[in-house]
Amino acid sequence: MTDTQLRQLIEGSKAILLENWKEGFTVPTKNLYPFQWNWDSGFVSLVHSYFFLFIAMLLLDTLFKGQWENGMVPHILFHSENETTYFPNYDFWNSNVNQGAPQKPKSSGITQPPVHGFILENLLEKFHDNEELLAFAKDIFPKIVHFHRFLYTYRDPNQEGLFFIYHPWESGRDNSPLWDESLDRIQIDRSKLPTYKRKDTSLADSSERPTDDQYDRYVYLIQFGKENQYDGKAIAKESPVLIQDSMMNAILIKSNQSLINLADRLVMDKAELEEWQQQSIKSYNDKLWSDELGMYACYDMRGGKQIPFKEIGGISPIYAGIPDKQKADLLAKYLQDLHDRGYYLCPSFDVDSPLFDSKRYWRGPVWPQMNWMIHMGLKEYGYEGLAKIVKSDLLELVRTLGFHEYFEPEKSLAKKLSRGYGGDSFSWTASSVLDLIHST
């Protein structure tokens, strides 16, 4: 890539972050997602730090203002109650059925990947001696631990060190085929389902979004959560969807490690974290590794079995230092093969599966923040060449197809397109690009 092209990517990222900033938080993209999203805020905070460190801190601070008493950090904070272009809005979630949910900001009743620990470590690596950041880190550290404690307390009924999700939106990989079998367990009785109107499909191409049938099931699960006051323990007993997600748990392990690494410097206790971490890593390798797939799998707790699909979550533990060298080699080989076959890295789902859909959200497309994590993980394990491909593939996709939400993985198809998929001017696309440019 030429210097001019790189400069254009940097300028483009900066412009998007300015455009999406809303006094205290950043929207993922203006029209489709007009509120504060949890894991988006983590990635975006990293990059705000390049321009204004105080904004990076403010963004995380604002997010944790929505933390529930039980420790959960919700997946969406509805800072404005007047915005009507998103479904399901705060009134539909009605999260105050849970006594510990703050009255303000209103929030959803589910969570998202716990990225904040590793984001905090990353910020402290970038601005090692900044006094304000150190003070901020001391303030937010116990809140992040409280979030992790929530996952281990309310979402791990068998005390395995692996927590469950009960709504696909918690995983961030909303419509991945991973969840199909669990969602099909739901008997939809339309007379009992509340009437609702999707808004996303009038803002983005419906062929790039989840289907109506999937939406009915998402809405059913919100109703189900609400009826159970969004209480993890009750949900564990009854939910038709109960899954130990490979990516969510890998991210938790990565963030645990970051907090452990920071604890001494911040004069914080790390004994609890170390205990969680030891058990989680062991269970992760014992329960989620699949010889058949040559990668990690999610575990369906209702069905009592692994979910046998090759997908991006099964590779993500490379970012958390979970696999040994032999397993890591298999993950790297999987990616190298895809590259050799003419795919941009990293497709979100198995390109050889009949369920692969190269443009439909999490059933195939390349997602920027996934490339960011996998690039960092590959580098850590010493797969330098592959790490460079993961980085340059994303930069090329964004340069040629714009700062979109997700991208076509088949190179031959992508070359014929004029844009990426989903929302445009996307915050975490800007942040992944900019941070990767800085990563050597």
- What amino acid occupies position 188? I
Active site residue 286: no
Kindly state the smallest distance separating residue 75's Cβ from ligand DGY, in Å: 6
Binding status of residue 78 toward ligand DGY by CB under 6 A:
no
Interface residue with ligand DGY among 30, 48, 65, 75 (CB under 6 A) is: 75
- Between CA 193 and CA 305 the distance in angstroms is 29
Kindly state the smallest distance separating residue 362's Cβ from ligand DGY, in Å: 9
Q: Which is nearer to ligand DGY, 39 or 343 (CB)?
A: 39
Question: In the window 170-189, what residues touch ligand DGY (CB under 6 A)?
Answer: 174
Q: Which is nearer to ligand DGY, 147 or 169 (CB)?
A: 169
Kindly state the smallest distance separating residue 94's Cβ from ligand DGY, in Å: 17
Alpha-carbon distances, residue 221 vs 171, 194, 402, 424 (angstroms): 14, 12, 34, 28
Q: Which is nearer to ligand DGY, 78 or 169 (CB)?
A: 169
- Between CA 69 and CA 83 the distance in angstroms is 26
Q: Which long-range contacts (CB under 8 A, 24 or more apart) does 302-306 make?
A: 302/182, 302/185, 302/239, 302/240, 302/241, 302/242, 303/181, 303/182
Task: Indicate the burial class of 405 (C-beta count within 10 angstroms; 0-12, 13-18, 19 or more).
Answer: buried
Binding status of residue 363 toward ligand DGY by CB under 6 A:
no
Q: At what angle do helices 246-266 and 131-154 cross, to 10 degrees?
A: 140
174, 245, 410, 424: the active-site residue: 174
DSSP states along 252-276: HHHHHHHHHHHHHHHT---HHHHHH
Nearest in space to 247 (alpha carbons), one of 302, 329, 165, 184: 165
156, 245, 350, 405: the active-site residue: 405
Q: Which is nearer to ligand DGY, 161 or 364 (CB)?
A: 364
The site that binds ligand DGY (CB under 6 A) totals a number of residues, namely 4
Q: Which is nearer to ligand DGY, 147 or 383 (CB)?
A: 147
Q: Which is nearer to ligand DGY, 75 or 106 (CB)?
A: 75
Kindly state the smallest distance separating residue 32's Cβ from ligand DGY, in Å: 7
Maximum Cα–Cα distance across the chain? 59
Kindly state the smallest distance separating residue 169's Cβ from ligand DGY, in Å: 4
Q: Which is nearer to ligand DGY, 68 or 169 (CB)?
A: 169
Binding status of residue 405 toward ligand DGY by CB under 6 A:
no
**Residue 64, token pair as written in the block:** 């944790």
Q: What is the number of other CB atoms lying within 10 angstroms of the CB of residue 394? A: 27
**Residue 49, token pair as written in the block:** 């730090």
| Cis peptide, bond prior to residue 346, ω within 30 of zero | yes
Interface residue with ligand DGY among 154, 169, 343, 406 (CB under 6 A) is: 169
Binding status of residue 424 toward ligand DGY by CB under 6 A:
no
Kindly state the smallest distance separating residue 429's Cβ from ligand DGY, in Å: 15
Binding status of residue 360 toward ligand DGY by CB under 6 A:
no
**Residue 137, token pair as written in the block:** 């880190």
Q: Which is nearer to ligand DGY, 216 or 396 (CB)?
A: 216
Binding status of residue 200 toward ligand DGY by CB under 6 A:
yes
Residue nearest to ligand DGY (CB): 169
Q: What is the number of other CB atoms lying within 10 angstroms of the CB of residue 275? A: 12
Q: Distance between alpha carbon 144 and the CA centroid of its chain, in Å?
A: 16
Kindly state the smallest distance separating residue 183's Cβ from ligand DGY, in Å: 15
Binding status of residue 217 toward ligand DGY by CB under 6 A:
no
Active site residue 184: no
User: Do residues 316 and 328 touch, judged by C-beta distance below 8 A?
Assistant: no
User: Do residues 421 and 406 touch, judged by C-beta distance below 8 A?
Assistant: yes
Binding status of residue 220 toward ligand DGY by CB under 6 A:
no
- Between CA 189 and CA 191 the distance in angstroms is 6
Kindly state the smallest distance separating residue 207's Cβ from ligand DGY, in Å: 15
Q: Which residues of 318-341 are buried (b: 16+ CB within 10 A; e: fewer)?
A: bbbbbbeeebbeebbebbeebbee
Binding mask 113-152 for ligand DGY (x = CB under 6 A): ----------------------------------------
> Which residues make up the interface to ligand DGY (CB under 6 A)?
75, 169, 174, 200
Active site residues: 174, 405
